Chains A and B, each alone.
Chain A
């Protein structure tokens, strides 16, 4: 693998600077130099599957509804601009910046009460999305979105406008403490929880979230089972804190299917104030997450069961789908060779975005079997093909990971392929990593 040129940003002044993707043995780094603030080197990839094999070429999607013009160039004109290369798959609406916990790690700089957008403002965001090619999948985020008493109204308004998949990104505390509030949100049309869930022991939460919230998470998952609500577990993976628990989290998820629909790992990225660059030892890369999953599941799940995405840039994520059979056997559905091949023909990114939207909307919500009773459902089936097809509907298990970019490792080529867009207060769609980007003083590029 040879050096590859791309563009990045200076971690100090946000100036656009050239960057090189440099392989050194089994590791791959980003190296870049700002004429004013010096040189920076950050780990991007360690080990197998090798970065140069992790490809899924795409034909850039034409942006039918740009909201901004190209004036300064990427990443300074986000909105999105006509030079972006992927449509919206999931739109994030930050409905509050208030939060009920204080995490040392937080994308959103949460914990700022007051100034929440009004219901009418949120409705205008929904309308902007409709005017920009929507409806898209919606994730209500924050801060902690459940702190808004009118959350059910926010969901109702979205559903009325035609947004069929509305998910809440939550730490789960209020839903656990107020089951009636959870029920009201489900009645309003909530499809799924994107539940912060970092590990299977209390100390992980103490380190990452400031207190032991494990019992609350477990209790909430029981409530969701009673109320028939699908849950995606979302661990932030931090080296030395919880990267030894990936297998335990997966085992717990499988045990709690079909309420738990999958696990979406997020390797830690560094936003906020960092006077010096985070050490490479503080990062875990996508292939390492795959390898740890294989090791910690005793090989039941293999790295070959994962493939690069068809929607966002190949280097942003991996995913693997499985079916949990009545015997507890996990049947892998995804094959890397089929999806990831540098010799394969490029597929239109536009089709990848549409497929990803459909997949999430179908599989991240709980789907009861045809008769609403799993055991009764199985008694109707006649052979192993029927059982398999029935389980595909109710027990498909989705494992994935997404590597967000921070100012130290941002690759503007990847940013242009982003399909997760945050709706800014003024109604612009801003790629997730651009919206959350801060320089090393903690000053944001976009976030107000």
Chain B
């Protein structure tokens, strides 16, 4: 897999434990993060895939 570099700091992102929160619920997941500025990279397939599914489930009316 090609290295992904932080556009701001110009250093490679590293795999790290990140906590995603939505509507009061927290989900610890492993994502790529800039070790300097903490910018997190969320791949499109994750954002439009299971992350969206979880959001929809939590938006239950």
Contact = CB atoms under 8 A, between A and B. Distances in A.
A334 to B, nearest CB: 6
Interface stretch (A142-150, A228-236, A379-387): A379-387
A310 interface: yes
A375 B30 CA distance: 22
A395 B49 CA distance: 21
A392 B57 contact: yes
B54 A335 contact: no
Contacts of A334: 60-61
A341 to B, nearest CB: 11
Interface stretch (B8-16, B21-29, B33-41): B21-29
Interface string A315-359: 000000101000000010111001100000000000000000000
B3 interface: no
B60 A389 contact: no
B51 A385 contact: yes
A335 B29 contact: no
Nearest to A331: B25
A307 interface: yes
Nearest to B51: A385
Contacts of A388: 27, 54, 57
Contacts, number: 37
Chain A interface category by residue count: 10 to 19
Nearest to A347: B61
Given A384-B27, A385-B29, A388-B27, A338 B54 contact: no
Given A383-B30, A384-B27, A385-B27, A307 B61 contact: yes
A321 B60 CA distance: 8
B53 A384 contact: no
Which secondary structure dominates chain B's binding surface?
A: mixed
B61 A389 contact: no
B30 A333 contact: no
A380 B55 CA distance: 22
A119 B25 CA distance: 50
Contacts of A385: 20, 27, 29, 50-51, 54
Contacts of B30: 383
Interface in A48-99: none
B45 interface: no
Contact of B61 (A310, A383, A386): A310
B58 interface: yes
Given A383-B29, A384-B29, A389 B57 contact: yes
A333 B57 contact: yes
A344 to B, nearest CB: 11
Nearest to A307: B61
B28 A333 contact: no
B44 interface: no
Interface string A370-404: 00000000000001111011001000000000000
Contacts of A331: 25
Nearest to B58: A333
B51 to A, nearest CB: 7
Contact of B54 (A310, A321, A389): A389
Nearest 3 pairs of A and B residues by beta carbon: A333-B60, A384-B27, A339-B61
5 contacts: A331-B25, A335-B61, A338-B61, A388-B54, A392-B57
Interface of B: 20, 23, 25, 27-30, 50-51, 53-54, 57-61
Given A386-B50, A389-B53, 11 more contacts: A333-B57, A334-B60, A335-B23, A338-B59, A383-B28, A383-B30, A384-B29, A385-B27, A385-B50, A389-B57, A392-B57
